[in-house]
Amino acid sequence: MRPKTQRFIVPAAILVVLAIPLFVTVPYYLHIMFMVFLFATMGLGWNLIGGYGAQLSLGHSVFFAIGAYTAVLFVVYKRLTPFVGGVAGMALAVVAAVIIGLPCFRLRGPYFALATIASGEITRTLLLHSKDFTAGANGVPLAFHGNDPLFLQFSSKAPYYYLALFLLAAVFMIVRTMERAKVGRYLAAVREDQDAAESLGVKTAWVKMIAFVLSAAIVAACGVIYAFTVGYIDPDSVASVNLSIEIAVVVIVGGIGTLWGPVLGAVVIVLLTELTNMFLGGVRAGANLVLYGTLLIVVILLKPNGLISFFDKFRPKQEAEKTQVAHGTHA
Amino acid sequence: MNPTILFQTTLNGLMIGGVYALVAVGLTLIFGVMKIVNFAQGEFVMLGMYVSWMLATFARVGPYPGLLIVGAVMFALGYLTFKLLIIRVIGRPDEAFILLTLGLSIVLQNLVLVIFGAEYFSVDTPVKDEAFHVAGLSLSVPRLIAFVVALLLVIGLTLLLNKTDLGRAMRATAESREVATLLGINPIRCFTIAFAIGIVLAGTAGVLLTPMFYVFPGVGTLFNLTAFVVVVLGGMGSVTGALLGGLIIGIVEALSSTYISLDLSQLFTFLIFLAVLFFRPSGLFGGATQ
């Protein structure tokens, strides 16, 4: 995209996205948009460690679940607003990220991915098992007591739409800043060649930990707003391997290690799975996931830099090259 | 502690451990030769179960007589998967392979869901409820058959790897692809055969499981995770390690679900898994390939 057109298209797109709830009132459509924003945000967060840091995490549902459960349980047991409970959830997710990251960052390639899957399964098993505290497999519903902004309860979907959009915008700006800051360049060095970066004095363990912790906090925040939007959480929906995988797939399909990749990936994946589910779900459950898996396979085989690479030719040359470098060489 | 219950639990664990070992040996063979983890291994167990169920339902061929047919079908599936998909990511980073097989596992699981629905099927055999009773312990015949066949297949694979030219070629490729090529071995051919055999072992495990487990689209997920654990426990790439690892995990799961809690049995498996990854990344038994 040339800078001139970009200057016009971006504000126009922002206006359209802001105005959508004024014209679209069908709750289901707004919910689909909400899920697009949510997955775009999680993708941006995952990309910090999975894309820029090149550590393929398949355990990010841990942080989503911690955010969701902490905020919801604070409401259930202490009647504490999710604005406090959510921050507590993000803090706990950061602690979990440190606990998982410290030993796991020593592992590479498939070992790291396997260890993160195991962390996710341990979290899910613990949530299922502690029935007295988390109600186990029954899950925790949030009773609706009418509009109450302090407890994120709204009878319309529009406030949740704006909440998710706001979070997406904030995370987008954070990631963009990071990408250009020193940390971003250190991460790029780690991705290219971990040993070389270390020998040049980059504290690779620290750089990876910063990216991991930040991505955990972002995904935990998503867990919080998901829980209050849907009004119900259970271990199989917020702590499943499938969720961890979908967060990663959004980024990979969109374009790993790029700023717009997760956003594009979320639009494509969420729309694809929701729309096919709407048209085929009643007749053939699973058809949407067949398409989703096929899309992942096709992207891996034919477009390893993600769908965003279709747009390379519209972008300034330097940026396009940056995406190429993003995935060329790390092994 | 009642010794009969303890022995019975251990015995049950050992028997199911044989099947875990079979799934894991397939996975470890693929890893050993190609240095890649097949995240869809459990889905091939599931496919083996469905092929066995179809044979029983539509052709009246029971799981044990149908073992060879399922084996042949699985070999063909493994071969096709390799030629259509896997071969295209050889030489690319680990991530590409992980994501490709993850995508494959999602597609296979949901394709089966689309075709057969979410129903739980079961496969009958005349020996389904038969059991031997010795010294107060009971040993169900399907479990015993699964254990013995699994053991025989693992022994057969070890012989193949150690005593035949094909096996030696595969081991050479596992050691070093470059050196193997210099010796006139075609590494791609070794990869193809190793992958297809790995898939056959997964599918056969599926057949052996049908008298004990319901057949449904998500059943493979259970075996996917367990197989990873077993393979890491035994040392990635080690066939004997995977066999011992499978037996250990079978016993650990049986004991923890009897003595601690049914829903925590997986927790111990994963904790052992992480402990091995962190403290003995080459596996419990050393870790030389093969």
Question: Which pTM does this prediction carry?
Answer: 0.90
User: How far, in Å, CA of B221 to CA of B213, rounded?
Assistant: 13
Given a contact cutoff of 8 angstroms between Cβ atoms, the answer to whether B105 and B46 are in contact is no
Say which DSSP state B85 is in. Answer: T
Name which of A187, A192, A247, A238 is nearest A211 in CA terms. A187
User: How far, in Å, CA of A65 to CA of A69, rounded?
Assistant: 6
User: How far, in Å, CA of B176 to CA of A43, rounded?
Assistant: 37
For the record, the structure tokens of A323 come out as 């995406």
Given a contact cutoff of 8 angstroms between Cβ atoms, the answer to whether A51 and A251 are in contact is yes
How far does the CA of residue A54 sit from the closest CA of chain B (Å)?
Answer: 9
Model confidence at A111: pLDDT above 70: yes
User: How far, in Å, CA of B244 to CA of B267, rounded?
Assistant: 20
Highest mean pLDDT pick, A200-204, A286-290, B196-200:
B196-200
What pLDDT does residue A316 have?
Answer: 57
Model confidence at A329: pLDDT above 60: no
User: How far, in Å, CA of B286 to CA of B128, rounded?
Assistant: 39
What pLDDT does residue B289 have?
Answer: 43
Instruction: Determine, yes or no, domain membership for B285.
Output: no
User: What digits encode the pLDDT tens for the residues A276-325?
Assistant: 888 876 667 788 889 999 999 999 999 989 999 888 766 655 554 554 44
Mean pLDDT over B255-269 rounds to: 82
Highest mean pLDDT pick, A139-148, A202-211, B150-159:
B150-159
Instruction: Determine, yes or no, domain membership for B208.
Output: yes
SS3 content of chain A, % helix, strand, coil (to 5): 80, 0, 20
Instruction: Determine, yes or no, domain membership for B102.
Output: yes
Q: What angle do CA A299, B221, A107 make, to 5 degrees?
A: 70
How many Cβ atoms sit within 10 Å of the Cβ of residue B255? Answer: 17
Instruction: Determine, yes or no, domain membership for B287.
Output: no
Q: Higher confidence at residue B48 or residue B62? A: B48
Instruction: Determine, yes or no, domain membership for B165.
Output: yes
Assign A272 to helix, strand or coil.
Answer: helix
Instruction: Determine, yes or no, domain membership for B288.
Output: no
CB contacts, 8 Å: B267 with chain A = 122, 125-126, 129
User: What digits encode the pLDDT tens for the residues B135-167?
Assistant: 788 888 888 998 999 899 999 999 999 999 988
Mean pLDDT over B51-71 rounds to: 92
User: What digits encode the pLDDT tens for the residues A183-198?
Assistant: 888 888 888 888 888 8
**Domain range holding B44?**
3-279
Query: What is chain B's length?
Result: 290
CATH label of the domain that carries residue B34: 1.10.3470
How far does the CA of residue A245 sit from the closest CA of chain B (Å)?
Answer: 8
Nearest to B98 among A106, A110, A285 (CB): A110
Q: Average model confidence (pLDDT) for chain A?
A: 87
Mean pLDDT over A263-284 rounds to: 85
Contact A109 B94 (CB under 8 A): yes
Given a contact cutoff of 8 angstroms between Cβ atoms, the answer to whether B42 and B227 are in contact is yes
- C-alpha to C-alpha distances, B21 to A313, B29, B154, B172, B245, nearest whole angstrom: 50, 12, 8, 24, 7
Contact B98 A128 (CB under 8 A): no
pLDDT band for B72, please (50, 70, 90 cuts).
very high
How far does the CA of residue A291 sit from the closest CA of chain B (Å)?
Answer: 8
User: How far, in Å, CA of B206 to CA of B73, rounded?
Assistant: 13
Highest mean pLDDT pick, A68-72, B161-165, B255-259:
A68-72
Residue B227 phi, psi dihedral angles, 5° rounding: -65, -40
pLDDT band for A160, please (50, 70, 90 cuts).
very high
Q: Average model confidence (pLDDT) for chain B?
A: 89
Q: Give the list of residues 6+ apart from residue B157 with CB closer than 8 angstroms, or none.
A: B25, B29, B197, B201, B239
pLDDT band for A326, please (50, 70, 90 cuts).
very low
Instruction: Determine, yes or no, domain membership for B286.
Output: no
User: How far, in Å, CA of A203 to CA of A25, rounded?
Assistant: 50
Q: Give the list of residues 6+ apart from residue B201 with CB closer than 8 angstroms, or none.
A: B22, B23, B25, B26, B29, B153, B157
Model confidence at B216: pLDDT above 70: yes
Instruction: Determine, yes or no, domain membership for B155.
Output: yes
Say which DSSP state A76 is in. Answer: I
User: Which residue in chain B is spatially nearest to A56 when comparing CA positions?
Assistant: B95
Highest mean pLDDT pick, A213-227, A316-330, B19-33, B55-69:
A213-227
User: How far, in Å, CA of B30 to CA of B144, rounded?
Assistant: 27
How many Cβ atoms sit within 10 Å of the Cβ of residue A243? Answer: 24
SS3 content of chain B, % helix, strand, coil (to 5): 75, 5, 25
Nearest to B110 among A121, A293, A331 (CB): A293
CA A228, distance to chain mean position in Å, is 17
Amino acid at site A63: F
Lowest mean pLDDT among A109-113, A221-225, B204-208: A109-113
Given a contact cutoff of 8 angstroms between Cβ atoms, the answer to whether A163 and A225 are in contact is yes
What pLDDT does residue A108 have?
Answer: 77
Mean pLDDT over A228-238 rounds to: 92
Nearest to B274 among A54, A115, A287 (CB): A115
In chain A, % of residues over pLDDT 70: 92
Name which of B105, B218, B225 is nearest A125 in CA terms. B225
For the record, the structure tokens of A151 come out as 């407890």
Assign B67 to helix, strand or coil.
Answer: helix
* DSSP letter for each residue of A275-323: HHHHHHTTT-TTHHHHHHHHHHHHHHHH-TT-GGGGGGGGS-HHHHHHH
Assign B189 to helix, strand or coil.
Answer: helix
Q: How many domains does chain B have?
A: 1
Partners of A140 in beta bridges: A233
User: Which residue in chain B is spatially nearest to A109 when comparing CA positions?
Assistant: B94
Chain A residues contacting B, CB < 8 Å? 54, 56, 103, 106-107, 109-111, 113-115, 117-119, 121-122, 125-126, 128-129, 241, 245, 248-249, 252, 284-287, 289-290, 292-294, 296-297, 300-301, 304, 327, 330-331
Cα end-to-end span (Å), chain B = 39
Contact B107 A103 (CB under 8 A): no
